[in-house]
Chains A and B, each alone.
Chain A
Amino acid sequence: MNFHDFQRIQTRRHFFKFAAGGIETIALAHLLGQDGRATQKKLPEVNPLAPRAPHFAPKAKNVIFLLQAGGPSQMDLYDPKPELQKRHGQALPESMTKDLPFVFIKPSAKVLGSPRKFRKYGENGTEFSDYIPHIASRADDIALIRSMHTEAFNHHPGQAMLMSGSTMSGRPTVGSWVSYGLGSEANDLPAFVVLNSGRGASAGSTNWSSGFMPSTYQGVNFRGYGDPILYLKNPPGISKISQRARIDTIRELNEAHYQNTGDLEIASRIHSYELAFRMQTAGPELLDFSNESQTVLDSFGIGKEPTNAYGTNCLLARRMVERGVRFVLLVHASWDHHSAVDKNLGEYCDATDAPVGALLGDLKQRGLLDETMVVWGGEFGRTPMGQFERVDEAPGRDHHPGCFSMWAAGGGIQGGQVIGRTDDIGLNITEDPVHIHDLQATMLHALGLEHTQLTYSFMGRDFRLTDVGGNIVKKLLA
């Protein structure tokens, strides 16, 4: 057997080993050419994030997940409750509240009516609050779920549940699962990117952690300032030409060492350096909005307050999806309005509503919405009862995991509908409860992944995003 055959077999072996274990796979797409040295053998290209076939034909290819961390108030945005106005200022009967877990308020807390006006939008006539006219204007694309429920009523566990399917931190998040299941189609960007704005979210990096999976599947934070990706910029004194020379030499020496050791990890390392170099160009290019029309910039609210920060992230999300990024997570915090909920919520909506509306419209106009699923929501909802922190402050609302609203739109999602109902008070679900695991199972389904089959073995157990739960919400699917 000559060395070339050896490499071929080894590569194939590497491929099968990883494919069988579902861990990593290798692109045999092309063997890299050499720079003229007759003695050198060809080097296999090894890419742990090469695209992988889904379990079945997918409806969506990419996800933009809009995490409104903190728990947005559903009865002020998506789930109108006129009954609350009637009962405003009254306590609810004890029988309704005695078993509810509250964080700060007591079961005797008084009902807080919503001052928001609701109006019907779209062909289906779905009601949305006057705080979110731009989102509402996309009603025909949106599947609004009013019957979400979760198990956690504190922020960190709640966000961990929403993003990783478990209230404990240390598990891979949905973006990691999707990158692990499908690989990446981006040639010069990471598979899973995170964009933060507002204050940091309670769960911090737990929201984009790859948990016990290799860091290959970790969310890469695209930063608001400094390098867009950490260490993307060359050190002082190293120009692009210098960097290329440096990487070429590293590559030559790595190739020589590969010849000596026959270890495919080195081939993989060479691939990583090439991708890193391409990212150094692609990162700044992504941030360069000069080829975007002024109409687009205006619609996202870029260059004006209060929408600039979130609008920029929304436009970046679209540009990433265009470039094959599999999963974009936008974290916006904190919608945790324990006091002055009406005023605070208004400010948060002013900063985000127009950008989100523009994102949906822009994706649609470019034909990207068909293959991109957009999800909007937080870790839980808020109570129909008010929370009075101090006498001199306007009331807020406490955490409520029993029912809350989220929505999805785009790839794989049947828009223009409402799923689930809650009772007149907004305490309980009366129709079609959707657990976080159900939503996660459905998201994976739309991406062509069967949630019970997408497993990762760790500490003697096959883990899933949906833990031991998850039923696909058929109504949600297109």
Chain B
Amino acid sequence: MVKREVVGGTFMKNLGKILFFLALVQTSSSLGWAEGSQNALSLPPVAQKPIDFSRDIEPILKGRCTMCHGEAQQLSGLRLDQRSTAMQGGYSGPVIIPHKSSESKLVRIVSGVIKDVVMPPSGERLSDDEVGLLRAWIDQGASWPLEAETALEATASSGRKKSSHWAYQPLKKPVPPEIDNPKWARSPVDHFILARLSKEGVDPSPEADKYTLFRRLHLDLIGMPPTPAQITAYIKDSDPAAYETWVDRLLESPHYGEKWAMQWLDLARYADSDGYEKDLVRPHAWRYRHWVIKALNDDMPFDQFTVEQIAGDLLPNATTEQKVATGFHRNTLKNREGGVKIEQFRFEEIIDRASTVGTVWMGLTVACAQCHDHKYDPITQKDFYSLFSFFNNADEVNIDAPLAGEMGPFLSQWPRYRTEREELLQKNRVYELMPAWEEKMRLAARNPGKWTDLDHAYDALGKYLDNGHGIVEKSPSERTRKETDSLIDHFVVNYHRIITKEFNKELNYKDLLRGNSSFPSGKLQDLKDKFPAVSEAQTIAESAQGRKSNIHIRGAWNQKGIEVSSAVPAFLGSLENTTNASRIDLAEWIISEDNPLTARVTVNRIWQEYFGAGLVRTSENFGSQGETPTHPNLLDWLAADFIEHDWSLKKIHKTIVMSTAYRQSSAARPELVTQDPDNRWLARQQRLRLPAELVRDSTLAVSGLLYPKIGGKSVRPPLPPGVTGLSYGNSQQWPEESDGRDRYRRGLYVLLQRTIPYPQMATFDATSREITLCKRERSNTPLQSLNLLNDPVFTEAAQALAVRILSESKQSFSERLLHAFQIALARTPSDEELESLQKYYHRQTQIFEQEPGAAEKLAPVELAGISRIETAAWTGLSSVLLNLDEFITRE
């Protein structure tokens, strides 16, 4: 902002000069994105006199530069109050080149000849005379007498001061405070909560009733409501340990892994497609989700969970599953648009990997430092690119990642598959035509700009086939089987780019492998589908290239500054390995005692799911701009306890849900409205609207439609017509609509196509997962109402629920109503509620009697001994229950 205003100001003030400058620019480069001309003519003239540093230069540097580039801070890595650092320069390299003032960045930047940047960034510009002095000083050799050293060497070497911000301080386990009413406390957690409440002079809320608590527990731990049978068993159970027994049972349920994977998948920005224009489907992405669900169900310690995702591929004798874990980093967006610079978007992906790790494990908004030193936190741009460096040399690699039972059938059929594939390829002249095409690709690589069609085809090779440019350069014998196959498949789909339309028609490769790589069909794919397959996974692996990393000036992919090596943010600590640290070193540091953030950030996000807000409300930002914890000692106690119990997630879940604090009623309390409107003291629980996936899951579960299979590939439930038409060129399709039970899988398995999100998910605030997300919004909109009222999925659920009620409960109307209520809301209705529903039932019956055919439409299933109107009225009633605010809320 400031930057642009100054540029604007310059335009007004120095219009004449600028127009002249523009004239120069036009002949050599374009205004708009290229850096301006280096022509010395546009700089103010060199002062014609001998320069005395202390008299002429030091006042300028001290007066205008060293506030930001001095002892206190060194923005852009530049320090101008001492000779050694001034001559060294900043992130972009040297700024003073003795004897060459017109090439020295110091001069150019204060003269305003670099587009969009002028220093100083605020206040008056340096006068032409002042710039003239700087130029003369540099042209005369930039002498800087020793006595003019304005800063002491001692402070220069001490580096940055340790931050006193609470989140960066070492973690110690506090002793739970004494409380007045020890009986209230069931867990050390309660001591912290009650102590705070006593301090504020407020009583905690009573415990929620058994029904509410039981449903709450189910929704929180497995993401689905309890069944009437479970409710009855629990209500009848007088064992004081009954609650705990259920906690243990739910934590052992395989649905626990599904429920808690959702939060992690938001953090991991998991999706089933690339994003951006082409938005190709990623057919193997699900394998990472599968890993997450299993890891959570196995209660994999969080430190191990961390190491495997950040650097599983680098572990000694890494297992397939450990490599699959690195799929975390493959969820970045990918731009395959024609003409996109491949290196630019590789850079964007690395940037995202570094920022995501910073947010997920450190709770820091490191992304700000992509372009500049962080404004509020002690994260420098150098810190950011040092973190970036850990990921810069990782390549994207797809591997075979078979699930149990896949390998045997696959291997037994493999030879037959290969034979048939070879026949198909030969019959279609693939082997005959491909060598010449490969040769053309290599020619295009060496002669860019010579043949447009070849350039086009070569661009496509790099875009659509991961590492396509690399593969085509290898001799056929060097290629792996996977590489050879993928190159052939690419050739078949893309050969038309370099041949005539007529020949293309004659070949009819379309028939062989139709469409883009997201939905291949045709004979080759049909053949593949006929044979047993092994699952594949997206992973990362270190490249042989050994890419060096640099600071990127203003975050631009093609403007490299000084080189950096991999390191953790300097204000948080340092690694022993300073020369060639790997992702393993990073991962181990992240879970080490030296880093107090990981445990704090993690337990805080878990707390947030249970109470609607974290103990640190800004769960995404533990830096100085974030909020301070409402219960700092509780946060530290939980974090320390988490580590003490070997980073067991299930243990921390149990600790929280066993607490009295968690079991409180969520009803609002008039006396707290003014005192604690945001419920920071936790004198009550919080009503929480269910996340999008759980709205679907609960509906399918109570209707009995849910297919509770755990893990596996993504599914495509039916979409309303026209939804996919909004994607790029109407290109995305949803052709293999899942049928049978797969239509009724839980929400987290619904294919997440970034540019055409499944409508119900988007409407209930699930994002398209372009970037990491620590906390979902909870909006409340008319589109949500329309979705619950009229979406065929929800109508079908209401129909199924009606059938369920009528067949499970054969008794009186009110018996059935009680049963319906218990299925949907896991409690018994009040008289008032019964009365409302009864009234509605009769009204609905009346309406159906007056509207011939309506009942048959709403209730398509004929039930023995029950009239259509009755079934239809129950369908309407079921739908009412499924639309209640309470139904989509965790009370």
Contact = CB atoms under 8 A, between A and B. Distances in A.
**A and B associate:** yes
Interface residues of B, number: 126
A215 B763 contact: yes
A265 B689 contact: yes
Contact of A470 (B1, B22, B673): B1
B72 interface: no
A373 B720 CA distance: 33
Contacts of B783: 190, 215, 220, 229-231, 276
A452 to B, nearest CB: 6
Nearest to B116: A469
Interface in B818-862: 830, 832-833, 836-837, 839-840, 843-844, 847, 851, 853-859
Given A203-B755, A204-B755, A269-B885, A209 B670 contact: no
Interface in A440-460: 452, 459-460
Contacts of A10: 668, 670, 673, 677
Contacts of A242: 844, 847, 851, 854, 876
B790 A96 contact: no
Nearest to A334: B729
Given A9-B673, A221-B726, A460 B883 contact: no
A102 interface: yes
Given A237-B854, A237-B855, A265 B687 contact: yes
B31 A428 contact: yes
A170 B886 CA distance: 31
Interface string A219-231: 0110111110111
A214 B455 CA distance: 43
Contact of A460 (B620, B731, B786, B839): B620
Contacts of A203: 277, 728, 755
Interface in B559-590: none
Contacts of A268: 780
Contacts of A96: 26-27, 30
A90 interface: no
Contacts of B621: 459-460
B847 A245 contact: yes
A44 interface: no
Nearest to A106: B449
Contact of B338 (A103, A170, A239, A402): A103
Nearest to B730: A200
A344 interface: no
Nearest to B352: A168
B300 to A, nearest CB: 27
B626 A233 contact: no
> What interface size band does chain A fall in?
35 or more
Nearest to B771: A170
B668 A261 contact: yes
A403 to B, nearest CB: 7
Most chain-B CB neighbours within 10 Å: which of A96, A103, A214, A276?
A276
Contacts of A157: 276, 335
Nearest to B785: A276
Contacts of B338: 103-104
A237 B859 contact: yes
A460 B626 contact: yes
Contacts of B757: 205
A155 B277 contact: yes
Nearest to B724: A200
Given A106-B448, A149-B32, A245-B840, A430 B767 contact: no
A98 B279 CA distance: 31
A263 interface: yes
Given A213-B777, A241-B847, A262 B729 contact: no
B151 interface: no
A104 B687 contact: no
A448 to B, nearest CB: 20
Contacts of B872: 237
Contact of B30 (A151, A155, A402): A402
A99 B29 contact: yes
Given A9-B670, A256-B832, A429-B31, 16 more contacts: A13-B677, A104-B338, A104-B456, A106-B448, A204-B756, A205-B757, A225-B722, A230-B783, A230-B786, A231-B789, A235-B790, A236-B795, A265-B885, A272-B780, A280-B786, A459-B359
